[in-house]
Structure 1
Amino acid sequence: MPRSLVDPQAVPAELRPYLADLVQRAHTICGPHLLSVFAVGSIALADYRHGRSDIDVNVVVEPSLPRHSVRELAEALTHRALPCPADGLELVVYDSSFALRPSGEAGYLLDLNTGPLLPNRASFDPARSPAFWYVIDRSIAYQAECLLFGNPVRKVIATPSPRDLLAAILASVREHTTGEGHLTDNQVLNGCRSVTFCRTGRWMSKSKAAQLIMGSEQDFRTLIEAALRSFELPRTAAHTLPTADVQTFSTWVRERVEEAATHRAPD
């Protein structure tokens, strides 16, 4: 049974005991069917902010894992059973037969959201979820390789095709453009990260992407600076940015991503 993370220094110190417990519980329940556990999101991109960021984790298991074990894992990792030290845990479980092929689908066995600021939700039906979240996270995972336990990330998942990835980024941008359920600072910074990926082919932290966009797009500098200041605050204290400015920026982001999708290289 694993007693520590593969590379404790790769994750923030305040999360190491929790992530070690998460890995240990996953190993106890899944046994030899557990192939890998790795971080995605802000942890993988070295931009985790305590009091603002969620903990994002992907798990890959063998297809032979009994489905009752997936439900047992969901119960064992709820905030009630394993208190989450961050605002929330977003954990996704894939079987390796899906994860090893490029896909634009959600494709999960389990999507668990839990934590002090997240309503507890466990989904076992990927058809019920927008696919773009999972496609983008798998791309980030493949790039960052932030392994917590098991086989190397690139041995257990494939990166999405350029076509599927750009479609996912465009869907994400459109989702954030609505503003529903999203902090305005995150709308702006997510837009910066999306455009930066389209320009560079690399995922960056939101803060680093924002710095790059500010350097090239002076018209949006004031708005992005305000978003970065707000991003330093707990999400319960985040500032509300001017609606018209955010919408103008979001429209610009969508147009840049649409251009990238139109002119993408063939798969």
Structure 2
Amino acid sequence: MSRGDEERPPVPAELRGYLAEVVRRVRAVCGARTVSVVAVGSVALGDYRHGRSDVDVTVVVEPGLPAAALRRLAEELAHRRLPCPAAGLELVVYGADFAGRPSGAAGYLLNLNTGPLLTERADLDTAGTAAFWFVVDRSIAHRSGITLWGAPARRVIAEPAPADLFAALRAGVREHADGPGHLADNRVLNGCRAVVFCRTGRWVAKRAAARETAAAEPGFRPLLEAAVRGFERPRSAAAPLPAAEVRAFLAWAGERVEEAAAAGG
């Protein structure tokens, strides 16, 4: 890790060898254009759950990396070539010119999903992509990313503007309120994380966000405690939550995001 990462949570033992090989393959394919390789998501926030969490990686490269190299990188990191020990690998490649400035766009050069529990995808085009996931991840990367190789995350990945962050949080809560394609416990915990960010300006791990929210909102405590218990189980053994309660909580969370956005954070 780079200097300045000493206070970050340690990379989980289950992922160290895998992430070292991810870094090696990124550097082998991208060569001297590689600027930084950063662990984000649950690894960066210290709440990785083996068997449940994905491993999220952000790669920054110098502009001009050919599309052929991006396709080769996707092939080299595909689960069939490099088995992922986590639920999946979500790896995003950005050009340094884009990553270094605040933006509310998706902006990636490559968006790769691969792994035992993920649908395989390797997108080189942002058309039709929901940008909010990428905006939130870049904010987490800027503040908390663990630099696995290269330049420190804070130096090469810009913090999105507040207006773009709140727009991303709104979109995220709406996405989870709709439900399809997302586990109920994860929808609730992401809502908690959005609420805590709006109240405190901090990104915290999902389970910590649920505890903070439950302490402040006792009416939601049974649902939030059930969501935490579900999150602590493997993804394949996730338990359902009461649909009406999940909808009510996410509607409430959406109102908190709107209030924070109207107040300018």
TM-score, normalised relative to structure 2: 0.96
What residue in structure 1 maps to residue 227 of structure 2?
227
Q: Deviations over 1:18-68 (max 9, x none)?
A: 000000001011111000000111001000000000010000000032221
- Assess if the C-alpha contact under 8 Å between 1:54 and 1:90 holds in 2: yes
The equivalent residue for 2:144 is 144
Q: Which amino acid in structure 2 is aligned with residue 176 of structure 1?
A: H
CA distance in 1: counterparts of 2:152 and 2:159, whole angstroms:
14
Letter in 2 for 1:196: V
TM alignment of 1:106-121, pairs within 5 A? 106-121=106-121
Deviation at 1:256, TM superposition (A): 0.5
Aligned identity (percent) is: 60
Q: Report the more deviating stretch, 189-198 or 65-74.
A: 65-74
Aligned to 1:168: 168
> After the TM superposition, which residues 67-216 of structure 1 pair with which residues of structure 2 at under 5 Å, given as runs?
67-216=67-216
User: Aligned equivalents of 1:216 and 1:66: distance in 2?
Assistant: 50
Q: For residues 169-188 of structure 1, what are the alpha-carbon distances to aligned partners after superposition, in whole Å with 9 as ceiling and x for unaligned?
A: 11000000001111111111
Correspondence 1:41 to 2:41: yes
Q: Contact (CA 8 Å) 1:75, 1:81: kept in 2 or not?
A: yes
1:99-131 deviations in Å (ceiling 9; x for gaps): 111000000000000001112100000123100
SS at match of 1:10: coil
Deviations 1:50-100 (A, max 9, x none): 000001000000003222111111110000111100110000000001011
Q: Unpaired segments of 5 or more residues in structure 1?
A: none
2:51 is the alignment partner of 1:51: yes
Q: Specify the alignment match of 2:257 in structure 1.
A: 257
What is the distance in 2 between the residues matched to 1:94 and 1:145? 15
Distance 1:226 1:155 in 2: 39
Question: Residue in 2 aligned with 1:26?
Answer: 26
SS of the aligned residue for 1:83 comes to coil
The CA deviation string for residues 119-155 of structure 1, in whole angstroms up to 9 with x for no partner, is 2100000123100000000000011031100001122
The one-letter code matched in structure 1 to 2:136 is I
Amino acid at match of 1:136: V
What amino acid maps onto 2:207 in structure 1? Answer: S
Q: Is the 8 A contact 1:52 1:234 kept in 2?
A: yes
What residue identity is the alignment partner of 1:103?
Answer: S
> CA shift at 1:10, angstroms?
2.3
With 62-71 and 233-242 compared, the bigger mean Cα shift is at: 62-71
Contact 1:106 1:127 in 2 (8 A): no
Which residue number corresponds to residue 217 of structure 1? 217
CA distance in 1, matches of 2:248, 2:195: 15
Partner of 2:239: 239
Asked if 2 retains the 8 angstrom alpha-carbon contact of 1:147 and 1:153, the reply is yes
Q: d(CA) in 2 for partners of 1:145 and 1:180?
A: 29
Flag as ranges the 4+ runs of structure 1 deviating above 6 A.
Answer: none
Distance 1:141 1:174 in 2: 23
The 1-side partners of 2:13 and 2:124 are apart by 31
Distance between the aligned counterparts of 1:242 and 1:31, measured in 2?
50
Cα RMSD of the aligned pairs, angstroms, is 1.2
